[in-house]
Structure 1
Amino acid sequence: MNTPSFNIAAVERDTGLSKDVLRMWERRYGFPLPSRDNHGERCYPADQVDRLRLIKRLMDQGHRPGKLIATPPDELTALMPHRSKQTPPSASPETGELDELLGLIKQHDAAAYQQAMQQRLARQGLQRFVQDTVAPLTQLVGRRWEDGDFEVFEEHLFTELTKRLLRQAIAALPGGPRRPRVLLTSVPEEAHVLGLLMVEALFALEGAECIPLGTQMPLLEIGRAAEAHQADIVALSFSAAFPQRQIPGLLQQLRLILPGNAALWAGGAGVARITRTDDARLLTTLDEAIAALASWHLQRA
C-alpha cells in the first residue's frame, strides 16, 4: 500500500523547521530519515513529519533538539506540558463563552463560529472585541495546542476565520487623514499574524494609518518599505514561539537599517521577558500598545 510522503519544502511549511535544520539533523543525528524519489529529492513519511512537528513544539518550550531526537516517540508526548490538567481555569461566564467558541472550532463548524464571533463584534465594538475576545481566545488556542487538545488544522481554522473577521472589521472603519503612519510586519521565521491584526485594528481606531506588510519580511525590505512609505513607526510582532535570544540582535540590526526618524516598536509575548533594549520600544500587552500611540500623539500635539 502507498503511504503518504512529503517533500522537504512541505515539511518546512508544516513543522516550522527550516530545510537547513532538517538536513543538518539528518547528518548529525540520523533523523529524520527521508527516502528519495525518482529525481533524487528527499521524501519524508507522515510519521516522521508528525514526530518533527512534536519536536518543534517541545523546542519552543525550551527543550534541546539533540535530546529530543534521541527520545523515543512515545516518550515525547509525555514531555508536553498539560496546563489545563495542572491548573484548571476558574469557571466564569466569560470563560464559558470562550470555551463555547472554541467548541465550535473543535466541531469544525466554521459557519457557526463566524456567526457567533460577528455577534460578539456587534455587541462589544471593535476595541473590546479585540481585547476581550480575540486576544484571550488566541491565548487559549495556544495552550490547547500545547496540551494536545487542538490539532494543527484546527488551530489553522481558528486563525484563518479570525483573520478574515478582523480584516473585514478594519476595512469597514471610516477613512480620512490619519497619523501616525505605522508599518506592521514581522521578521523572517515569525509567521504568526493575529497579533499584527489585533494591533492594526486598535491603532486604526485611534486614528493611525496602518500599512500591513504581512509576516516574515526580510530586514532590508522592512527598511526599504519604511523609507518608501515615510513611516513614523515600524511595529513588529514576536510570538512566544520565536527564539527570544534572537530578538535583541534583530532589533539592533533593524534599527541600523531604518530611517533615523522612524520609531521602532516590538510587541507580543516574545518580548515579555526582554527587560530592556535601546533599539526599540517594547510593548508586551495591547494596553501598552494603545498607551504608546497616545504618547506619540501627545508628543506631537
Structure 2
Amino acid sequence: MNNALQLSIAAVERDTGLSKDTLRIWEKRYGFPTPQRDGQGERTYPVDQVERLRLIKRLLDVGHRPGRVVSLPAQDLLALAERSADAQGLLPGQVRRRGQTAAPEANDGDGVLARWTGSPAGHPTLPPGPHIDWVHTCLLAVDQHDLIAVRRALRRALAQEGIARFITSVVNPLMVAMGDGWLRGRFQVQQEHAVSQAVQQALCAALHQLPLPQADDAPRVVLSTLPGEAHGLGLLAAEAWLTLLGAHPINLGPQTPLWDLVQSAEALQADVLAVSFTAAAPAPLVQDTLTELRSKLPRHVALWAGGQHPLLHRRPPADITVLGQISDLSTTVQSWRQAHPRRVPSAA
C-alpha cells in the first residue's frame, strides 16, 4: 500500500468516525496510531493506519473494547473480525435473512401502522408474486458494484413491503449484513457508505410520500444526535416511524450541540427530545452528556435515547426512556399518549 498519501486528523475523523480526542488518547495510551507531522507540526496519518483504524472502529461497533483491540497488529484484527462475525451467527458468505426481525404490527400499540404496511401514499402496492429476499438481492448487487441495481431493489422493496416493513425487514438487516460483510472483507468501506446513502435516499423518498404532520399531532418529537455521533440513518427511520404513528417528528439532523438541543426543544414546543447512539459511542457521551442534557431540559419534556449502546441498557441515566429497536417507538408513543390524554386529538 502506498503510504505517500497522508491524511489530516480532521480527514481521519470524517473517514473513520473516530473523534480527534479519541485518536490523541489512543496515541498516548496504546501507542497507536503513530501519526507523522506536517510542516506546520499538525498530525498526519498514512493510509495504512487509516485502514487499520477503520477496522478497529468496526470491531468497536460490534462490542469490543478499545483496550483489547487498538494495539493489535492488522492481521490479528482481521482474525478477530472474522471470529466476531462468526459470533453473530453468520457463516462465510451468509447474510441475515428476512423474518429475523419481529413484524412491526406485533408491537403496534393502537394499530396505527396497519394502514401503512402495504405501501406509502402515492406508491402502488405491487401485485402478489414470488417471495423476494430483498437483502440478499441488494448484497449480490453490491458484490457486483452495481449501485443502480441496489437503488432499484430498494425502490421496489419500499413499494411492495410498505414503509414499516421496509424499515424492519429490509433496512435494518441490510445494514447489519453490510457491517458483517465489511468485517469479513467481503465489502469495502466505500461500498458500505454507498449502500447507506442509497438507503437514506429511499427513506427520504418515503417520507416525501407521507402526509405532513398537523399542528396538533402529538407528541412533538425533536430528533438529533449529540456531537460526535455523525450517523443520520437512524434519525430518518425514526422520523418515518413516528410519522406513521401520527406523531409530529422534527428532525434536526445529526450532531446538534447540547445547548442548541435545549433551546430547540423550547422554541419548537417539543413534548419529547429523542437522541440516538451507536454501539461505539464514548461512554462519557452516553452517561455524562446525556445526564447533563436531562438536567437542562424542562421536566415536562421527555428524553428518549435510542440505540444498542451497552451502557444505555445496563446503566441508563435516570428519568430517560431507552429504546433498543425502532419498533419500540410504537409502545413508547402509546404510553406517552396515555399519560398525556389532553395533548392527543380525539381522532388520533
For 1:87-111, what per-residue CA distance to the aligned partner results, in whole angstroms no more than 9, with x for missing partners? 9668779784311112222322222
Measure, in 1, the Cα distance between the counterparts of 2:204 and 2:187: 24
Q: TM-score, normalised by structure 2?
A: 0.77
Measure, in 1, the Cα distance between the counterparts of 2:97 and 2:266: 49
The corresponding residue for 2:109 is none
The corresponding residue for 1:39 is 40
Q: Secondary structure at the match of 1:298?
A: helix
Q: Which moved more, 1:159-168 or 1:123-132?
A: 123-132
For 1:119-151, what per-residue CA distance to the aligned partner results, in whole angstroms no more than 9, with x for missing partners? 111112222222222122222223223333222
Identity over the aligned pairs, expressed in percent?
43
Two-structure CA RMSD over aligned residues (Å): 2.7
Q: Secondary structure at the match of 2:158?
A: helix
Q: Secondary structure at the match of 1:184?
A: strand
The correspondence for 1:173, drawn from 201, 210, 218, is: 210
Question: Quick check: 1:145–1:155 contact (8 Å CA) kept in 2?
Answer: yes
Once the two structures are TM-superposed, the CA of residue 249 in structure 1 deviates from its matched residue by 3.0
1:85 matched to 2:86? The reply is: no
Do the aligned partners of residues 63 and 297 (structure 1) sit closer, same or farther apart at CA in structure 2, a change above 3 Å counting? closer
The corresponding residue for 1:241 is 280
For 1:49-79, what per-residue CA distance to the aligned partner results, in whole angstroms no more than 9, with x for missing partners? 1122223333444545455444332222112
**Equivalent runs, 1:88-237 vs 2, <5 Å:** 96-175=133-212, 176-177=214-215, 178-237=217-276
Do the aligned partners of residues 35 and 182 (structure 1) sit closer, same or farther apart at CA in structure 2, a change above 3 Å counting? same
Q: Which moved more, 1:22-31 or 1:164-173?
A: 22-31
The corresponding residue for 1:53 is 54
Question: Quick check: 2:221–2:249 contact (8 Å CA) kept in 1?
Answer: yes
Once the two structures are TM-superposed, the CA of residue 184 in structure 1 deviates from its matched residue by 0.5
State how many pairs are aligned: 301
Q: Which moved more, 1:95-104 or 1:267-276?
A: 267-276
Amino acid in structure 2 at the alignment position of 1:104: A
Measure, in 2, the Cα distance between the counterparts of 1:91 and 1:52: 29
Question: Quick check: 1:239–1:268 contact (8 Å CA) kept in 2?
Answer: yes
Runs of 5+ in structure 1 lacking a partner?
A: none
Question: Quick check: 1:126–1:169 contact (8 Å CA) kept in 2?
Answer: yes
Amino acid in structure 2 at the alignment position of 1:45: P
Once the two structures are TM-superposed, the CA of residue 269 in structure 1 deviates from its matched residue by 1.8
Do the aligned partners of residues 270 and 66 (structure 1) sit closer, same or farther apart at CA in structure 2, a change above 3 Å counting? closer
Question: Quick check: 1:244–1:270 contact (8 Å CA) kept in 2?
Answer: no
Q: Secondary structure at the match of 2:207?
A: helix
Do the aligned partners of residues 27 and 206 (structure 1) sit closer, same or farther apart at CA in structure 2, a change above 3 Å counting? closer
Once the two structures are TM-superposed, the CA of residue 262 in structure 1 deviates from its matched residue by 0.8
Once the two structures are TM-superposed, the CA of residue 216 in structure 1 deviates from its matched residue by 1.8
Q: Which moved more, 1:91-100 or 1:4-13?
A: 91-100
Question: Quick check: 2:138–2:150 contact (8 Å CA) kept in 1?
Answer: yes
Q: Which moved more, 1:74-83 or 1:85-94?
A: 85-94
The corresponding residue for 1:290 is 330
Q: TM-score, normalised by structure 1?
A: 0.88
Q: Which moved more, 1:153-162 or 1:170-179?
A: 170-179
Measure, in 1, the Cα distance between the counterparts of 2:183 and 2:339: 42
Q: Which moved more, 1:46-55 or 1:272-281?
A: 272-281
Measure, in 1, the Cα distance between the counterparts of 2:146 and 2:176: 20
Measure, in 2, the Cα distance between the counterparts of 1:291 and 1:168: 26
Question: Quick check: 2:96–2:177 contact (8 Å CA) kept in 1?
Answer: no
Runs of 5+ in structure 2 lacking a partner?
A: 99-129, 342-348
1:278 matched to 2:318? The reply is: yes
Q: Which moved more, 1:13-22 or 1:222-231?
A: 13-22
Question: Quick check: 1:252–1:279 contact (8 Å CA) kept in 2?
Answer: no
Once the two structures are TM-superposed, the CA of residue 223 in structure 1 deviates from its matched residue by 0.8
Once the two structures are TM-superposed, the CA of residue 245 in structure 1 deviates from its matched residue by 6.9
Do the aligned partners of residues 241 and 106 (structure 1) sit closer, same or farther apart at CA in structure 2, a change above 3 Å counting? farther
Amino acid in structure 1 at the alignment position of 2:41: G
